[in-house]
Structure 1
Amino acid sequence: MRVGLRELLSGIVVLKDKKTITEVSMGEFLTVIFSFPTIIFTVLLGVVMLYWLSVIIGFMDIDMLDGGLDFPGDVDIDLDADVDVDADADGHGSSFGSFLVWLGIADIPITIVVSMVVLWSWFLLLIISGFVLDYFKYSIIIYIPFALLAIFVGFIASLFLTKFCLWPILPFFANSNKSLGNRDIVGSLCRVESGYVNEKYGQARYTGGGTDLMLNVRNYSGSDIRKGQTVLITGYDKKTQTYRVDPYEQDSELTDLASRK
């Protein structure tokens, strides 16, 4: 006896000759995941799997996609005598980046976020296709609008499910300044951990004062800043929760400010 996708997803067990038989209709399953709209996220899920395989092998970095995420605002930062920083942001960035800030998971590497969003979107569309869209598959005029609606609903729902799933690891990535104020960070040195730092993306590790923080940093100096480079923290933008950094010349008269903290 064949078990349809709807029955399979419902967890229905078929009884025959007093024995429990669970037969999965693999053909129907493959038909759904390679049919519109599920095929969109099936392909993306394949790309995600190849990406993480490349990360494991060492061909790619985990921060590969972060540079493409533009969080809102072009930042102008002014420092006063107390090295307290106020930021005035103008302009607008990507709606996806803004939404991640609103969700509170912008500190997590975008590769992890995107992977979870794709996985949840794929799973939700699989469910929707099995329970809802299957009823409209004989009328393309009705099927297409419902399929497009399913993509939208599945994607939005996946964002919130991603937030829920990533909450446990958020403390490992978030900028927690509860015990270390911004004025203690500004003027210190840190080491770049991301592949590069520009106006839209960058991460650096601060280890002064017995702490170990991963900071979101931005570079407005026009100079090229790369992974492993030591940089000087010169400002903080409260709105985007990012630090401004400039290249640090080791042959200057400045000492390692980070060691003083």
Structure 2
Amino acid sequence: MDTFFAIAFSFPTVIFSVLLCVAIVYWLISLVGLGDIEADGDIDASGDFSGLMVTLGLQGVPLPLVLTLLFLIAWLASYFAELLLGALVPDGFLHALFGLAIIAGALVMSVLVTAVVIRPLRPLFRRAYLPPLQKRIIGTACVITSATVTETKGRAEAILDGAHLVLQVRSHTPLAHRERAVLIEHIPDKNAWWVVPEAEFLAGESAG
């Protein structure tokens, strides 16, 4: 037990110990009803962050769950690397370099393993949470935050149920910075949304 605590609360494992403790506290707070676990939490990330999540294969499940798995797997990798190899490395500068190498290796391993672990979980969260979100967000007004919006690129901000969303958007009608638009359709393969100018949307509603 002394060995366990010595490794868990010493560099480099202590970094992941702190992160894992934060994740555990979050889940405990959520379980007693003081917090709110957003199953679609990855949608309010910026476009660049969402793209990174997709690239790493970490999309499709709640962000808190992804982070918890990342911290847990990184902690396990760091702990056992230090347990098995730490005694072979002299203290001082070399051990510090060894610790940095463990951190880098643990992070890479945690991303790879987490991407595999969450793969079978995606359909569960997609069926339970994604369709309602898509239905609620359709018709929501947004403000263009990128310089322009075209059929291939663009970004906008929207507010849904009090949450601030930063979304990738596309439009057949070119839109400029700070123009208002309305979300009308989801583009699943690009994690983006088709939008139309707000005036055009309101004119269509009036005509209907």
Same fold (TM over 0.5): yes
Q: Given that residues 58 and 114 in structure 2 are in contact (C-alpha distance below 8 angstroms), is that contact kept between their aligned partners in structure 1?
A: no
SS at match of 1:107: coil
Task: Compute the displacement of 1:238 (Å).
Answer: 6.1
In the alignment, what sits opposite 2:190? Answer: 240
Mark the runs of 5 or more structure 1 residues left unpaired by the alignment: 1-25, 72-92, 176-184, 201-217, 256-261
Report the structure, 1 or 2, having the larger helix content: 2
Q: Of 177, 190, 207, which residue of structure 1 is paired with 2:135?
A: 190
What is the Cα deviation at residue 160 of structure 1? 0.9
Secondary structure at the counterpart of residue 3 of structure 2: helix
Match of residue 31 from structure 1: 6
Given that residues 12 and 103 in structure 2 are in contact (C-alpha distance below 8 angstroms), is that contact kept between their aligned partners in structure 1? yes
- Asked which structure has the greater CA Rg, the reply is 1
Query: Cα gap change, 1:223/1:174 in structure 2, threshold over 3 Å: closer, same or farther?
Result: closer
- Aligned twin of 1:160: 112
Superimposed CA distance per residue, residues 214-240 of structure 1 (whole angstroms, 9 cap, x where no aligned partner) = xxxx993x6632169xxx751444663
Residue 151 (structure 2) aligns with: none
- State how 1:226-237 maps to structure 2 within 5 Å: 226=161, 233-237=183-187
Q: Does the 8 Å contact 2:23/2:68 carry over to 1?
A: yes
Deviation at 1:44, TM superposition (A): 0.7
Asked if 1:101 is matched to 2:77, the reply is: no
Structure 2: runs of 5 or more not aligned: 146-153, 164-181
RMSD: 3.7
Equivalence map 1:53-132=2 (5 Å):
53-63=28-38, 66=42, 69-71=45-47, 93-94=48-49, 97-132=50-85
Q: What is the identity, as a one-letter code, of the residue corresponding to 1:143?
A: H
Q: How many residues align?
A: 167
Q: Which amino acid aligns with 2:136?
A: R
1:170 aligned to which of 113, 117, 122: 122
Q: What letter corresponds to residue 155 of structure 1 in structure 2?
A: L
Of all paired residues, the percent bearing the same amino acid is 22
Match of 1:45 in 2: 20
SS for the counterpart of 1:105 is coil
* Residues 1:223 and 1:129: Cα distance change in structure 2 (over 3 Å): closer
Deviations 1:137-196 (A, max 9, x none): x42111011110110110011011101111111112349xxxxxxxxx9xxx8125xxxx
8 Å CA contact 1:198–1:225 kept in 2: the answer is no
Q: Secondary structure at the match of 1:191?
A: helix
Secondary structure at the aligned position of 1:58 is classed as coil
Deviations 1:111-160 (A, max 9, x none): 11111000000011011011112222x42111011110110110011011
- Contact kept, 8 Å, 1:234 with 1:244, in 2: the verdict is yes
| Equivalent of residue 140 in structure 1, options 92, 96, 102 | 92
Q: Is the 8 A contact 1:105 1:170 kept in 2?
A: no
Q: Per-residue deviation at 1:36?
A: 0.3
Distance 1:103 1:151 in 2: 18
**Residue matched to 1:76:** none
TM-score (norm 1): 0.53
Which secondary structure does the structure 1 equivalent of 2:59 belong to? coil
Give the TM-score, by structure 2 length: 0.65
